A and B are shown apart, each in its own frame.
Chain A
Amino acid sequence: MLPADISSRDPREKPSYGAAFSGALIDPERATPNCVAGPNGKTATKRYNVYRNNVTVSLIEALASIYPAVQRITGAEFFRAMARFHVRANPPRSPLLFEYGRDFPDFIERYEYAQSVPWLGDVARIERAWLDCYHAADAEPLSATALGSVPADRLAKLVFLPHPAVRIVRSSFSAVSIFAANRNEEQTDQIQADDPEDALITRPAHDVVVRHLPAGGATFLTRLIEGSPLAVAVSAALEVAPIFDLSASMAGMIDAGVFTTINDGDPQ
């Protein structure tokens, strides 16, 4: 029934079509694999190119859907050319496309043709953090009441457990304003691009919210997220920003849902 050269082979042997077929998918320099053909053995160059096109275009589109503000800033043509380089050099390692493109912000910063837009990488970092926040696990944020019930003498040693969706992105540029204006499809020509801005990305209720942190806020929250007690985080914040406003920051972090629980060292 079967040709001798096939039936004599061990049927459990690992077939080799994976390497043979996929080798040229994202490498335009390589020829159409020999293992495929059209009907009656005819040439399959354009046929194989359908797969090449599907792979590259769908991955470019995956990046475009993760980084819409970056695409709005650069324009679609520039973005697709940049994304094509990235897709070919760094294809996904996971079938979960919402995990793709973690190294795209770094790639953008090194990308030769994007050097005139030095804040583009940080805008991309906020967009990547936005998507991570969107898919992160659900948790009930810490309530103001729970925090308010802590006796004053225990506040200094208070330790906070971060919400799974919280992300902080720090930028030497006005990345938060530029991100927000482009995601909302607003005018951007009035934005001063080189005021340093830090982003706080959280999901306090159902939806992702991006906030611009005040001076010292990023240091304060980063320390708390790392597990430092409140007093240590406050000192660190005051050291980098003497105008750091503790009560406003505490109110803001509750409102933003940065943390889920507190531990005041009381073993209960």
Chain B
Amino acid sequence: MNAIIQFADSQASRLLRFPAHSIAGLAGTSLKHEHLSAILAERPAYGFFEVHAENYMGAGGPPHRALESVRRDYPISLHGVCMSIGGPQRIDVAHLGRFAALVERYEPALVSEHLAWSTHETTYFNDLLPLPYTEATLARVADHIGEVQEAIRRPILLENPSTYVLFRDSTMSETDFIRELARRSGCGLLLDVNNVFVSATNHGFSALDYLSDFPLERVGEIHLAGHAEQSDDEGERLLIDSHDGPVADAVWTLFDIVADRRGPIPTLVEWDSKIPDWSVLKAEAMAAQAILDRHAQTFVFGSTHAAR
């Protein structure tokens, strides 16, 4: 009896590590606790699940039991939401420690964070806030990514943001900033196609031009999600990255173009608010899988872009 309880020592826990499921070419979904029983009952044959790291930073209890159960059968993607990598202040080392512990514990196939920030001094704002694109912020954010990657001993994928404002101070484009950030820090990129569409609409640039400028060769994951529509002070269309509905047709089209250029890389459908039945979210992921599979056939021979 006691021997089993004492299994928590490091030697024994290494024996309990999870299987190495491949995530290459798969479509996945956000893991929502509302869907957990449906997923565990159905046990879909393939796919992956992405979790927000912060939801699993409690010491124990049902969240970890659920994630262990999902992780045994599927690859997972660990998506950090509040590291404040894009902020002007130092990374919170306690938070980074918790993040590194999750990477160690769950051996995720993908690890990602945002080009954004959410904490100022000690206040946590629970939103992905924007930053000016300057030499100064580039140097600082590259340092932050380096610090995170050192702590977790692997590269992260950094996600392009959706934004509603521009900084008067910015001296470079978002794509130039991201390309240089990836070059300096060695990080990979998470291309959120919905964010590209939202920002392009909000700031009046071409989403296709953005994708042409984006360093697609560094992309290790794609995000798709739904957005909502409002208007700005002049009554012009302002899109909100709301994750509360199906992926828009325009975003599917952009995704098809990216998959054509980049091949079948892991693609996630996010849905975080007004969460539908599992069958609805699963259907979105299957639509993404169909597009990935179609492009997989053209990438099958001698592709240098194939995901691991």
Which of A's residues lie within 8 Å of B, judged by CB?
Answer: 2-3, 6-7, 9-19, 21-22, 25-26, 34-48, 50-51, 54-55, 58-59, 62, 91-98, 133-140, 164-165, 203, 206-207
Contact = CB atoms under 8 A, between A and B. Distances in A.
Contacts of B84: 95
A165 B123 contact: no
B118 interface: yes
B171 interface: yes
Q: Sorted from nearest, which 5 A-B pairs have the closest CB atoms?
A: A135-B58, A138-B60, A95-B82, A137-B59, A36-B165
A73 to B, nearest CB: 24
A206 B69 CA distance: 13
Interface string B87-131: 111001001000000000000000000000111111111110111
A59 B105 CA distance: 29
Interface stretch (B233-241, B261-269, B277-285): B233-241
Given A22-B120, A95-B118, A17 B126 contact: no
28 contacts: A2-B171, A11-B136, A11-B138, A15-B137, A18-B89, A21-B130, A22-B123, A35-B168, A36-B130, A38-B203, A38-B233, A39-B203, A44-B164, A50-B164, A51-B127, A51-B129, A55-B126, A55-B127, A58-B126, A93-B123, A95-B54, A95-B118, A95-B119, A135-B60, A136-B61, A138-B59, A138-B60, A203-B61
Given A38-B203, A38-B234, 4 more contacts: A15-B140, A36-B168, A45-B233, A50-B240
A12 B61 contact: no
A15 B232 contact: no
B125 A93 contact: no
B208 interface: no
A18 B135 CA distance: 16
A7 B172 CA distance: 13
Contacts of A203: 61
Interface of B: 5, 54-55, 57-65, 81-82, 84, 87-89, 92, 95, 117-127, 129-132, 134-140, 164-169, 171, 202-204, 230-234, 238, 240
Contacts of B81: 95
Nearest to B273: A61
A14 B169 CA distance: 14
Contacts of A45: 233
A92 B92 CA distance: 15
Contacts of A6: 134-136, 169, 171
Nearest to A1: B171
B62 A207 contact: yes
Contacts of B64: 138
Given A48-B164, A134-B61, A93 B122 contact: yes
**Of listed B65, B136, B137, residue having the most chain A CB within 10 A:** B136
A134 B33 CA distance: 14
A38 B61 CA distance: 45
Most B C-beta atoms less than 10 A away, residue of A45, A135, A207: A135
A93 B81 CA distance: 16
A91 B123 contact: yes
A89 to B, nearest CB: 12
Contacts of B169: 6, 17, 35
A217 to B, nearest CB: 24
Contact of B124 (A39, A46, A92, A137): A92
B88 A17 contact: yes
Nearest to B64: A138
Nearest to A3: B171
B94 to A, nearest CB: 9
Max count, chain B CB within 10 A of own CB: residue among A91, A140, A164: A91
A139 B60 CA distance: 9
Nearest to A49: B164
B136 A54 contact: no
A37 to B, nearest CB: 6
